[in-house]
Amino acid sequence: MAEQPRNGKVTVVGAGFYGSTTALRLAEYDVFETVVLTDIVEGKPEGLALDINQSRPIEGFETRVVGVGGGSYEGTEGSDVVVVTAGLPRKPGMSRMDLIETNAGIVRSVAENIAQSSPDAVVIVVSNPLDEMTALAQLATGFPKERVMGQAGMLDTARFTNNVAEELGVPVSSVRTLTLGSHGDTMVPVPSRCTVDGKPLADVMAPDRVEHLVQRTRNGGAEVVALLKTGSAYYAPSAAAARMARAVIEDSGAVMPVCAWVDGEYGISGVYLGVEAEIGRGGVRRVVEGDLTDSELAGLREAAEAVRAKQADVADM
CB-based contact 240:158 (threshold 8 Å): yes
Residue 86, annotated ligand binder? Answer: no
Instruction: Find the mean pLDDT for residues 257-276.
Output: 97
Is the pLDDT at 107 greater than 80, yes or no?
yes
At 71, is the pLDDT very low, low, confident or very high (cuts 50, 70, 90)?
Answer: very high
Q: Which of 45, 46, 124 is nearest to 81 (CA)?
A: 124
pLDDT tens sequence across 134-179: 999 999 999 999 999 999 899 999 999 999 999 999 999 999 999 9
Residue 291, annotated ligand binder? Answer: no
Residue 39, annotated ligand binder? Answer: yes
d(CA 43, CA 36): 14
Q: What is the pLDDT of residue 46?
A: 98
Question: Rounded to the nearest 5°, which phi and psi values hold at 260?
Answer: -130, 160
Q: What is the pLDDT of residue 97?
A: 56
Residue 17, annotated ligand binder? Answer: yes
Catalytic residues: 183
Is the pLDDT at 92 greater than 90, yes or no?
no
Instruction: Find the mean pLDDT for residues 77-90.
Output: 88
pTM score, whole prediction: 0.94
CB-based contact 233:224 (threshold 8 Å): yes
Q: What is the pLDDT of residue 185?
A: 80
At 309, is the pLDDT very low, low, confident or very high (cuts 50, 70, 90)?
Answer: confident
Q: What is the pLDDT of residue 312?
A: 76
Is the pLDDT at 95 greater than 70, yes or no?
no
Is the pLDDT at 22 greater than 90, yes or no?
yes
Residue 15, annotated ligand binder? Answer: yes
Q: What is the pLDDT of residue 295?
A: 95
Q: Which of 275, 274, 268, 278 is nearest to 305 (CA)?
A: 268
- Report the mean per-residue pLDDT for the chain: 93
Residue 193, annotated ligand binder? Answer: no
Residue 219, annotated ligand binder? Answer: no
Is the pLDDT at 195 greater than 80, yes or no?
yes
List the alpha helices (DSSP H) in the chain.
17-29, 44-53, 56-59, 100-117, 130-141, 153-168, 201-204, 207-218, 220-228, 235-249, 294-313
Domains assigned to the chain = 9-150 (3.40.50.720), 154-314 (3.90.110.10)
Instruction: Find the mean pLDDT for residues 199-210.
Output: 96
Q: What is the pLDDT of residue 303?
A: 93
